[in-house]
C-alpha cells in the first residue's frame, strides 16, 4: 500500500515537470444548457411530438426520469455553477421548483452540496396554464457563493421570453474574486415570417445590453440559447459592444449545439467582455453529454447540447478605452462625438429607459489628441448604409432616427433610437476646422453641441448657421493600440488541454484536462 502511494505521488510530481510554470489563479467551471421545458408541475398540456420524448412526461416518474437524465449526464463535470434555460418557475403555493430537483439530484450524485439561486419568481397556474419557464442557476456551496440579487436583464416593454433573461454575480470562496453571469434565451424561430423573430432577437439583445448595466462586477459572461448564428443582428450588437464569442474562439468554426433538419448549428453561445475574456481558458460544447448529439435524438433529454466554460480567475485592472481624434470615418469601429460646449464634452447615449431625448454629455479630457475613458457606453458606430451614407448605432444596439410630427410638419430635435429598420441614413462631412457635419439625410438636421437651460447636450437641428455657443462635433476613433489596459493574458496554449498546476488558498493543486483537482498526494479534491 505504501509503495503504491509513493508511486502515485511520484507520478503526479513528475507530471508537474511537464506542465510548465505554474501560475496563481482560481479555476472555476460553468456548465450551461437549454434543458427543453423541464417542469416540476405535471401534465402541462404541452405537445412535443416525438422529437424529445423525455420532455413529454405527465407523471412523477416521467419527471424524475427527465431530472435523472440531466443530472446523470452533467454531474460528471462537477461544475461549480450550472446555468439552465427552460426550467419552470416556482408555482404559487409550492415550496419546491424544478431547479430544486436538479440541485438535489446533483448533490446526491456527486456527494457535493449544490443549492439553487432563488429569484423570487412565481406564477399562478390558473392565469398561466402553460407554466412560466425561465433561466436559472445552481451552484456548489463549497466553492461558490451568490453575491447580491438575481435580476432580470430584459429591460424593455415588449421583450420576448423576459423570464429567461437573468443575471447573477458570483464569488469564488477560494480567492474572493467575483464575476457576473447572464443566462439568456432569445426568441426562437417560430413565427410565420422569420423576419419577425429576427427583429425580436434584435430587441432581446438591446434589452440585454441595457440590463447588463446593473451588473455588480465588471467581468461579465453572457451565456444562453440565443437562437442565432454569428452574423445575425442580435449577435452583431453584442460584438459591437465589445463582447467576444468564446466557443468559436476555442473550439473552431465547425462547432454546433443544435440540429434542425439534420443541419448542425451553433445557436448556444458564450460571450465575454474584455476583462472576462482574459480569464477564460476553455469553452466547448460537450458532445458526449447528451444523446441529441450522438444520433439518438428521439430519446435525448434535450434538443440542445450542453457546453462548458473554464475560468481562471485573476484580479483584472479596470478596462480603459482610448479614442484618437480623426478626420475620416471607418465603419464598424467605435467613435466618440465630442464638442467644446462647456469645457470638453462627449455625447452620452439616450437613457436606457427612454426612446428619445436631447443627448446628455460626460466631461472628457484630451491629451495629445487622445481621450481615454473607463466606460465604453458613450461610443457610437457608423454602419455602411450605401451611397456614401451611414447608419448610426449606439452602444446598446439602438439606431438613430428622428420622429416626424405630422401636425406641425417638423422633425423632432431629439435623438430617437430604435431597431435597425427605423434607422435614418446620415452623412459625415469633414469641415475645415476638423469638425464633422453629421447630417440626417431624411430630416436635413445635423448634430450640434449646445447648452440648453444650462445643461450641455447634443441635439439635431436644421439651422443654416451656428451661433457662438453651438458647435459641430469632433470625432474620436477607438484605437486599441493606445489603450493602456495592462491586463494579464493567461497562457491559453491548446486551451488548457493538458494538466496544469494551480496555487489555490496557498495549496498547490493539479488540475487535470477534465477539470478534476488533485493534491500532491494524488487524492482527488472535491
* Residue 13 pLDDT: 43
Q: CA neighbours within 13 Å on the CB side: how many for 131?
A: 20
3-state secondary structure 287-312: CCCCHHHHCCHHHCCCCECCEEEEEE
Give the DSSP H or E segment for 145: strand 144-152
pLDDT (tens place) for every residue of the chain, 526 residues total: 444 444 444 344 434 433 333 334 699 999 999 999 899 988 664 444 444 456 677 888 889 999 999 999 999 999 999 999 999 999 898 999 999 999 999 999 999 999 999 999 998 877 776 668 999 999 999 999 999 999 999 998 789 999 999 999 999 999 999 999 999 999 998 877 789 999 999 999 999 999 999 999 999 999 999 999 999 999 999 999 999 999 999 998 888 898 776 678 899 999 999 999 999 999 999 987 676 666 666 667 888 999 999 999 998 888 999 999 999 999 999 999 999 999 999 999 999 999 999 999 999 999 999 999 999 999 999 999 999 999 999 999 999 999 999 999 999 999 999 999 999 999 999 999 999 999 999 999 999 999 999 999 999 999 888 999 999 999 999 998 886 443 333 333 334 445 544 544 445 556 565 656 665 556 666 5
Long-range CB pairs of 6-15 (<8 Å, 24+ gap) are: 8/521, 8/522, 9/520, 9/521, 9/522, 11/522, 12/510, 12/518, 12/520, 12/521, 12/522, 13/520, 15/499, 15/510
Length of the chain equals 526
pLDDT value at residue 23: 38
Grid coordinates given for 271: 460571450
The pLDDT of residue 298 is 65
In Å, what is the CA distance from 470 to each residue of 341, 415, 466? 7, 17, 6
Return the pLDDT at 165. 97
**Bridge partner residues of 335 (DSSP):** 380, 477
| Gap between the Cα atoms of 59 and 41, Å rounded | 9
Lookup: cell for 494: 491548446
Residue 233 DSSP SS3: helix
Amino acid at each position: 500500500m505504501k509503495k503504491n502511494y509513493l508511486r502515485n505521488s511520484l507520478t503526479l510530481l513528475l507530471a508537474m515537470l511537464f506542465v510548465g510554470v505554474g501560475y496563481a489563479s482560481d479555476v472555476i467551471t460553468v456548465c450551461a444548457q437549454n434543458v427543453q421545458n423541464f417542469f416540476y408541475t405535471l401534465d402541462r398540456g404541452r405537445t412535443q411530438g416525438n422529437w424529445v420524448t423525455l420532455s413529454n412526461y405527465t407523471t412523477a416518474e416521467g419527471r424524475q426520469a427527465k431530472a435523472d437524465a440531466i443530472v446523470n449526464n452533467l454531474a460528471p463535470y462537477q461544475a461549480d455553477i450550472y446555468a439552465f434555460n427552460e426550467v419552470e418557475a416556482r408555482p404559487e403555493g409550492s415550496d419546491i421548483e424544478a431547479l430544486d430537483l436538479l440541485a438535489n439530484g446533483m448533490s446526491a450524485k456527486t456527494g457535493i452540496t449544490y443549492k439553487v439561486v432563488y429569484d423570487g419568481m412565481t406564477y399562478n397556474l390558473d392565469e398561466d396554464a402553460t407554466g412560466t419557464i425561465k433561466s436559472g442557476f445552481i451552484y456548489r456551496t463549497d466553492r461558490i457563493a451568490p453575491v447580491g440579487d438575481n435580476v432580470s436583464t430584459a429591460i424593455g416593454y415588449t421583450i420576448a421570453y423576459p423570464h429567461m433573461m437573468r443575471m447573477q454575480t458570483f464569488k469564488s470562496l477560494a480567492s474572493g474574486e467575483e464575476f457576473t453571469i447572464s443566462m439568456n434565451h432569445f426568441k426562437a424561430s417560430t413565427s410565420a415570417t422569420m423576419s419577425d423573430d429576427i427583429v425580436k432577437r434584435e430587441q432581446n439583445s438591446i434589452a440585454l445590453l441595457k440590463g447588463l448595466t446593473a451588473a455588480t462586477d465588471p467581468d461579465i459572461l453572457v451565456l444562453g440559447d440565443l437562437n442565432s448564428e454569428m452574423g445575425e443582428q442580435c449577435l452583431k450588437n453584442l460584438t459591437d459592444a465589445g463582447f467576444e464569442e468564446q466557443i468559436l474562439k476555442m473550439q473552431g468554426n465547425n462547432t454546433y449545439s443544435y440540429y434542425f433538419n439534420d443541419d448542425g448549428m451553433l445557436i448556444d453561445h458564450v460571450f465575454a467582455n474584455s476583462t472576462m475574456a482574459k480569464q477564460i481558458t476553455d469553452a466547448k460544447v460537450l458532445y458526449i453529454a447528451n444523446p441529441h448529439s450522438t444520433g439518438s435524438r428521439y430519446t435525448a433529454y434535450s434538443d440542445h447540447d450542453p457546453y462548458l466554460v473554464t475560468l481562471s480567475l485573476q484580479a483584472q485592472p479596470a478596462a480603459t478605452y482610448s479614442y484618437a481624434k480623426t478626420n475620416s470615418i471607418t465603419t464598424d469601429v467605435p467613435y466618440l462625438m465630442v464638442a467644446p460646449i462647456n469645457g470638453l464634452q462627449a455625447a452620452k447615449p439616450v437613457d436606457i429607459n427612454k426612446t428619445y431625448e436631447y443627448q446628455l454629455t460626460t466631461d472628457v479630457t484630451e491629451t495629445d489628441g487622445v481621450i481615454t475613458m473607463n466606460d465604453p457606453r458613450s461610443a457610437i458606430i457608423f454602419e455602411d448604409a450605401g451611397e456614401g451614407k451611414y447608419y448610426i448605432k449606439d452602444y446598446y444596439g439602438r439606431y438613430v432616427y428622428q420622429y416626424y410630427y405630422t401636425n406641425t410638419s417638423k422633425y423632432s430635435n431629439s435623438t430617437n433610437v430604435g431597431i435597425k429598420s427605423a434607422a435614418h441614413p446620415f452623412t459625415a462631412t469633414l469641415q475645415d476646422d476638423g469638425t464633422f457635419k453629421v447630417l440626417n439625410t431624411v430630416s436635413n438636421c445635423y448634430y450640434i453641441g449646445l447648452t440648453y437651460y444650462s445643461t450641455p447636450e447634443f441635439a439635431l437641428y436644421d439651422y443654416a448657421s451656428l451661433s457662438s455657443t453651438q458647435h459641430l462635433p469632433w470625432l474620436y476613433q477607438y484605437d486599441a493600440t493606445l489603450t493602456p489596459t495592462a491586463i494579464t493574458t493567461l497562457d491559453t496554449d491548446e486551451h488548457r488541454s493538458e494538466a496544469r498546476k494551480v496555487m489555490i488558498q496557498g495549496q498547490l493543486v493539479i488540475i487535470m484536462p477534465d477539470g478534476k483537482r488533485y493534491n500532491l498526494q494524488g487524492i482527488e479534491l472535491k
